[in-house]
Amino acid sequence: MNNKILVTGGAGYIGSHTVVELIDNGYLPIIVDDFRNSNPLVLDKLNEIVGQTVPFYNIDCTDKKKMDKVFAEHPDLMGVIHFAAYKAVGESVEKPLMYYQNNLGSLMVVLELMEAYKISNLVFSSSCTVYGEPKVVEVSEQTPIQEATSPYGDTKIVSEKIITNTVNASAQLKATLLRYFNPIGAHPSAKIGELPNGVPNNLLPYLTQTVNGIREVLTVFGGDYNTKDGTCIRDYIHVVDLAKAHVKALNWLDNQKLPVVESFNIGTEKGNTIMDVIKTFEKVNNLKVNYKIGERREGDVEQIYANTQKAKEVLNWSCEYSLDDALKHQWAWEKTLKK
Ligand code: NAD
Ligand code: WQD
At 1, the pLDDT band (50, 70, 90 cuts) reads low
| Over residues 173-196, mean pLDDT | 97
At 76-112, the pLDDT tens digits run 999 999 999 999 999 999 999 999 999 999 999 999 9
Taking alpha carbons only, the member of 66, 75, 165, 153 closest to residue 111 is 165
Residue 107 Cα to ligand 1 middle (Å): 12
Residue 33 Cα to ligand 2 middle (Å): 25
Mean pLDDT of all residues belonging to the chain: 97
* Strand ranges, E, within the chain: 4-8, 28-32, 56-57, 79-82, 121-127, 138-139, 174-180, 182-184, 218-221, 233-234, 236-238, 260-266, 272-273, 291-294, 305-306
CATH number at residue 62: 3.40.50.720
Residue of 37, 201, 202 to test ligand 2 pocket, by largest number of atoms within 8 Å of CB: 202
In a domain, 73, yes or no: yes
In a domain, 329, yes or no: no
Taking alpha carbons only, the member of 197, 179, 151 closest to residue 39 is 197
Query: From the CA of 208, which ligand is nearest?
Result: 2
In a domain, 170, yes or no: yes
User: What are the distances in angstroms from CA 110 to CA 25, 60, 229, 234?
Assistant: 24, 11, 44, 31
In a domain, 118, yes or no: yes
* pLDDT of amino acid 197: 85
State the CB neighbour count (10 A cutoff) for residue 165.
12
Q: How far apart are CA 72 and CA 69, in angstroms?
A: 5
- Residue 33 Cβ inside 6 Å of ligand 1? The answer reads yes
The backbone torsions φ and ψ at residue 122, rounded to the nearest 5 degrees and listed phi first, read -115, 130
pLDDT of 309 above 70: yes
Domain that holds residue 117: 4-184+237-268+306-319
In a domain, 111, yes or no: yes
* pLDDT of amino acid 338: 75
Nearest CA to ligand 2 atom 2: 203
Nearest CA to ligand 2 atom 17: 203
At 146-157, the pLDDT tens digits run 999 999 999 999
Q: Are the C-beta atoms of 188 and 285 separated by less than 8 Å?
A: no
In a domain, 230, yes or no: no
3-state secondary structure at position 5: strand
Nearest CA to ligand 2 atom 14: 203
Q: Are the C-beta atoms of 305 and 269 separated by less than 8 Å?
A: yes
Q: Are the C-beta atoms of 274 and 200 separated by less than 8 Å?
A: no
* pLDDT of amino acid 185: 98
In a domain, 144, yes or no: yes
**Plot region of 269 (φ>0 → left; ψ -120 to 50 → alpha; else → beta):** left
In a domain, 338, yes or no: no
Nearest CA to ligand 1 atom 16: 84
* Strand ranges, E, within 191-313: 218-221, 233-234, 236-238, 260-266, 272-273, 291-294, 305-306
| Over residues 126-138, mean pLDDT | 96
Q: Which residues contact 338 (CB under 8 A, 6 or more apart)?
A: none
- Looking at the chain, the whole-number percentage of residues with pLDDT higher than 90 is 97
Residue 38 Cα to ligand 2 middle (Å): 20
- Residue 159 Cβ inside 6 Å of ligand 1? The answer reads no
Q: How far apart are CA 98 and CA 119, in angstroms?
A: 28
- b/e map of 44-53 (b: 16 or more CB within 10 Å)? ebbeebbeee
Residue of 33, 83, 108 to test ligand 1 pocket, by largest number of atoms within 8 Å of CB: 83
Closest-lying ligand 1 atom to the alpha carbon of residue 59: 20
* pLDDT of amino acid 335: 96
At 215-256, the pLDDT tens digits run 999 999 999 999 999 999 999 999 999 999 999 999 999 999
At 268-294, the pLDDT tens digits run 999 999 999 999 999 999 999 999 999
At 17-47, the pLDDT tens digits run 999 999 999 999 999 999 999 999 999 999 9
pLDDT of 70 above 70: yes
Pairing of strands 272-273, 233-234: antiparallel
Active site residues: 152
* pLDDT of amino acid 27: 98
Rg (CA), the chain: 19
Look at the chain and report how many structural domains it folds into: 1
Q: Which residues contact 216 (CB under 8 A, 6 or more apart)?
A: 210, 290
Residue 321 Cα to ligand 1 middle (Å): 22
